[in-house]
Structure 1
């Protein structure tokens, strides 16, 4: 319109995506961003270098107080946030570190979601309020040492002994495992694959921590060992049998990754942009060279396209129309693009890019895990390939 005044260009929001957010959305985002800036960013390089996440139980309780645990679930002390609000929280948490977002995702989108959707009323009342408050940390046992992408081949078994269940087997790469108070464990039974709510103080349950990781170092990762763990009959999740149970939980968690990966990408892009403006070479800032500007422009385009895709999928989830194939679309695209953004950012920082004084290499190595867990690139390509062609090429 002639004579109208355009809003100024905002380098942090170049296509105006904040216009899509309601005041309530912005409040959630800003609350989580402030918490991460106060409690994570001052310490994360030290935690990452040490390969530990000290004070995880205190951090979980703080996350509970700001409503970040199981935040898209309703009732039982959960915040009842929208899918978009949950996604915004994931983005801000992963902008701090993927390990922090993983803590929240496993707690809310896997362990709590499984109990909320498939559990009995008694299970919900017993566990969900304490998990939402961060008083109890949860983990999710699906992946096994020899069965990652093919959970249907799991060997962990649950057998009836009178009215009890007895669980035997191993799970691998389990976030939160050694600090969890409750584990949702999936096992093969004579009836099919079932989920079990397992208190981690049950005799025969142990969770040795996995060390020597070069990715997700500020995160607790464990093996779960179930050596004849005896559970009462009411430990089983009553509302689901088969892989539909764990796969629906994974879909919910993958949705958070669609957002979270863009948080890691944003942090790396911002570090590269600030560095390019302040660092001088050949008598002028790096930002004054055409090749550097081309890199920054390409990074910004992919970053904000990824956030726009996450917004779109979030609106579909809130409307009840989001399909699992669409979540695969989002995870496949956004994690791949996030890694590429981190790698490009590293080239702008040069040798400084490998230093923990900057977040770029930490995000890049974390994203190598995010690329693999909850569905590898190949699995999501095949999910989309089947959806596009109607032909199942998994086997």
Structure 2
């Protein structure tokens, strides 16, 4: 089923869950979802409101991941929803984008925790794993029994990862020996398996390996003193003579092309996440504008405040449109790197503007966690940067326009 399947649209039921209206979705883009997809999103939103919203600020302030949410989220069927091997029901790329939106709307740290596990780690197994690896790991990961992480970025390689991977993999008898370091690896402090991308010293090609927690020579150390996405436990990873059997190698990975394929898909997911983060700040600002009084009137009655809110909603609406079209291309399997990069760069830039305007509306209260904007304002900086910085994604689009790479 494609997301523009009119027969599917005509089959929507009339239940409250299926017909739930999101006032932020000003042009009704959710109408492209089926009734089953909208009902699932209703269940997810209900869960997030009850279980995540009340604790999000606490975990963010403590800089701890709410790991106890991993299995309950799995029960909602959101992990691996795009993989036929484990998907609980037929769903579209658009539905999976709205899942990222809903998660980030409440807490971008939880969205990142889930996205690293489902979007990056599970995608690595789905794209690069053998039939045996897929059959063994994907169902367990979909149920949240095994938690994954994705080890690509290195201390000296961020934007230039394609050429700059220094972590090495050396064939040794029937197995492999890995040496190197990774940085900013989400979930790595508690993940059961970490996908490590390393360069084969024999042919210089990038290969993927599944490294289990507790493997000798593997160490993950939590990065402290972060001021964005604080409830994501990013880690520095060191690999010192880590010995792995050949069965730990992702059998279908031959080069960096497989990594690029995974990143193309997840980059668009981050665009949805940026959208959700901005919406969370916008909703908080609307509520504040309706209740906060100054000069004897609620501030939402003043023209300047309304102008800011209209600007925010306009940026959000344009972002939903871009994300929706990106999902359509993804569903048709025609999404290009340039299109994915444009979506991530543009939506995250708009998000940055939205959260800044929302903080302005709240005045001094905009910097305190209790009012719902400060966390989103801070988290925007990390979202703006990861899955490709704004500059790098811009250059990917520029290469598509001119045919000339300008990365260095």
| Short-chain TM bin | over 0.9
SS at 1:179's partner residue?
A: coil
Distance 1:373 1:90 in 2: 15
Match of 1:15 among 18, 27, 30: 27
Tell me the residue number matched to 2:54. Answer: 42
Tell me the residue number matched to 1:204. Answer: 217
- Is residue 221 of structure 1 aligned with residue 231 of structure 2? no
CA 193–290 in structure 1, closer or farther in 2 if over 3 Å, else same = same
CA contact (8 A) 1:28 1:85 kept: no
Q: Deviations over 1:22-78 (max 9, x none)?
A: 212211221221111111100111111111124x0x311111111111221111466
Distance 1:157 1:18 in 2: 45
Distance 1:314 1:253 in 2: 11
Tell me the residue number matched to 1:82. Answer: 92
Distance 1:19 1:116 in 2: 30
Root-mean-square deviation over aligned CA pairs: 1.5
Tell me the residue number matched to 1:175. Answer: 186
CA 11–113 in structure 1, closer or farther in 2 if over 3 Å, else same = closer
CA contact (8 A) 1:206 1:225 kept: yes
Tell me the residue number matched to 2:108. Answer: 98
Distance 1:89 1:14 in 2: 18
Tell me the residue number matched to 2:38. Answer: 26
Unaligned runs of 5+ in 2: 1-20
CA contact (8 A) 2:217 2:240 kept: yes
- Is residue 255 of structure 1 aligned with residue 265 of structure 2? no
Q: Deviations over 1:235-284 (max 9, x none)?
A: 21121222112221112211111111111111111111111121121222
- Is residue 354 of structure 1 aligned with residue 367 of structure 2? yes
Distance 1:28 1:101 in 2: 16
Distance 1:314 1:238 in 2: 28
Distance 1:46 1:241 in 2: 43
Q: Deviations over 1:97-133 (max 9, x none)?
A: 1111111111111111111111111211221111111
Tell me the residue number matched to 1:5. Answer: none
Pairs within 5 Å for 1:61-80:
61-76=71-86
Deviation, 1:79, is: 5.3
- Is residue 132 of structure 1 aligned with residue 142 of structure 2? yes
Deviation, 1:14, is: 2.4
Distance 2:355 2:87 in 1: 37
- Is residue 289 of structure 1 aligned with residue 299 of structure 2? no
- Is residue 316 of structure 1 aligned with residue 329 of structure 2? yes
Unaligned runs of 5+ in 1: 1-8
Match of 2:379 among 366, 379, 383: 366
Distance 2:211 2:90 in 1: 25
In the superposition, the TM-score normalised over structure 1's length comes to: 0.94
Distance 1:241 1:47 in 2: 39
